[in-house]
Structure 1
């Protein structure tokens, strides 16, 4: 049985010093667009996996240096055969992909994160699925985490605009038993490893700058692609190991801000579609029905949020978060003061209980002593006690 999984294991000595020769073509069927921002060695692993593709259609690699760090540039300098697009500033995910698409010559765009390592037959599997009779407008990959468990086998959208990766956390055997490891239509697939029909991508306008610099732009794009009448499908034979969020792990607050901001914009634009989504959705549900969006229904949030001025929105969001946390801290301080009063009262009641328990114990002992003497002896003892004074 052919192993379709990406290679794993230790990096051999000297591995980081050799050059990476990528395939080239005068007439590429596909253009694999890789954004390079902050990562070094993960980018090397990504490009080496592309160099090792088997049975793939003619393809080129468009490497976008998206305001890249020195580490990413050093990794890119070891590459031969790539079409390099050098952007001095980070244009965001959608902007970087748009720059790569401008330089691409393929009939399909294949978007690939720099923290993804694809299996040797990955591109061949995407190509075969894209040529199937249902003519999908986009084909997503089976994404696996570093632990080998499923990270995503397509995604579904919830009524509140939340998104859920199908099969997340399952082993491949568990995902297969749940019928998730077959090609099928889905709401959308992550753009971490996504084949897109180039002509339709251009026709719908590509990624919308509304969602710059990142998050929800791939969800929005694929709903607009699906509105043309063709499906988005997942192809589990196209496997990619993905270090999800590796580029932005060091800025979790920024990720949270972008997710909240862009999720709100997405929910406004696709309100009619989301309103028709069942309250409870499972991995087995059919893809949601896409209603053509009102592209003017998701105005920018307060202030100028065109990239890169999203920083102004971020500052406002941080200020609001600080105010919220301060308010919660004041509330917590009040609760602590009330707890201190309760503790004081509890200590007093415990001391009172202790004294009462001691008195009760002494009284019980006295009663037992009197009962042991009998009624006559008790009276006699009392008479002596009174007359012996």
Structure 2
């Protein structure tokens, strides 16, 4: 079983070098190919990576194709039968690739295996005097970096709720309290092992998504086709949260809202899509009378660009939904916290 590890760089060479060095050290343990995609490559950037890492396949992209486009470009150049994605701001443990491949070998029905992603550094709980730099869990608990804190989980896969919101499973759970190994609905693109035939059978990554929800989209299509998405606690990476891009801001909010609509249109039932559209409209209406979630420019963009994209995605996914091994509504009942009746 040969693994091709794909790493995407966008103007963060210092972080990318850390990831590549940690992966290069694993060559003796497994049959491994490394593919680096340099998005919006500046003059000499790709050549510098090639000189420092001569065994790495370097793909230079003239423009920023985002994470989804970068993965698609890397997959086109990769030769492995397993594609492994690792964020460039993550450092994998020495046995990361070995542990993920072993899980795939042990369970042939798995099409994808999510890795165990922990946050770089240590953190302590903050009860008051909160800062905008604090990380906030879904339940509202805030955590701040501290030399005497604890290790926190970033992701053990992705879960999706009844309104198609995708969130990292076990986000900010203290180490040792995360999921033991049960399957998530989706993998996180920060660290995942994908069987190439299964990925290609569902169409691969959609470059038009650019960033956010591209991992949920592929996982959703895999599950509709009857495949499993698993999780391997031993395939661990240490992730610098938002090391390559901001985790907030207007672009992130816009992309999250836009891509949730598009991915639901492609893969979801009519009822789920109607619910997501309704919630998005209500969100935009609240923006007009309160503190806006999106600024005026991104609200206009959501209407002018996202609406045609949703229509195209609905049409493009029609044949796959009809041929699905698991019906969209059945999948939603099982995984999305109850179907929105």
TM-score, length of structure 2 as denominator length: 0.67
By percentage of residues, which structure has more strand?
2
Matched, 1:35 2:16: no
Partners of 1:43 and 1:72 within 8 A in 2: no
Q: Secondary structure at the match of 1:80?
A: coil
How much has 1:256 moved relative to structure 2?
Answer: 1.4
Q: Counterpart in 2 of 1:261?
A: 258
Alpha-carbon distance between aligned partners in 2 of 1:273 and 1:157, rounded to the nearest angstrom:
17
| Counterpart mapping for 1:317-328 below 5 A | 317=298
Q: Which residue of 2 aligns with 1:153?
A: 156
Which residue is equivalent to 2:230?
233
1:94 to 68, 85, 92: 68
Give, in angstroms, the shift of residue 114 of structure 1: 0.8
| Secondary structure of the structure 2 residue equivalent to 1:161 | coil
| Contact persistence 2:159–2:168 (CA under 8 A) | yes
Q: Which consecutive unaligned segments of at least 5 residues does structure 1 have?
A: 1-27, 277-296, 298-313, 322-389
Q: Which has the higher contact order (CA 8 A, sep 6+)?
A: 2
| 2:6 pairs with 1:46 | no
Matched length:
253
Equivalent positions of 1:129-208 (< 5 A) are 129-147=103-121, 148-175=151-178, 180=179, 182-208=180-206
Deviation, 1:103, is 0.8
- The alignment yields a C-alpha RMSD, in angstroms, of 2.8
Paired position in structure 1 for 2:242:
245
Q: 1: distance between equivalents of 2:213 and 2:238?
A: 21
Whether the 8 Å CA contact 1:161–1:274 is kept in 2: the answer is no
Aligned to 1:79: 53
Question: How far is 1:250 from its partner?
Answer: 8.4
Pairing of 1:266-277 with structure 2 (within 5 A)? 266-272=263-269, 275=272
Equivalent residues of 1:54, 1:124 under 8 A apart:
no
Q: CA deviation at 1:218?
A: 1.2
1:155/1:115 CA distance change after superposition, 3 Å: same
> Does the aligned pair in 1 maintain the 2:156–2:184 contact within 8 Å?
no
Distance 1:169 1:157 in 2: 17
**Distance of aligned partners of 1:54 and 1:119 in 2 relative to their CA distance in 1, 3 Å threshold:** farther
Say if 2:68 and 2:208, in contact at 8 Å, map to a contact too: no
Offset at 1:36? 1.1
Q: Which residue of 1 aligns with 2:217?
A: 220
Q: SS in structure 1 opposite 2:176?
A: helix
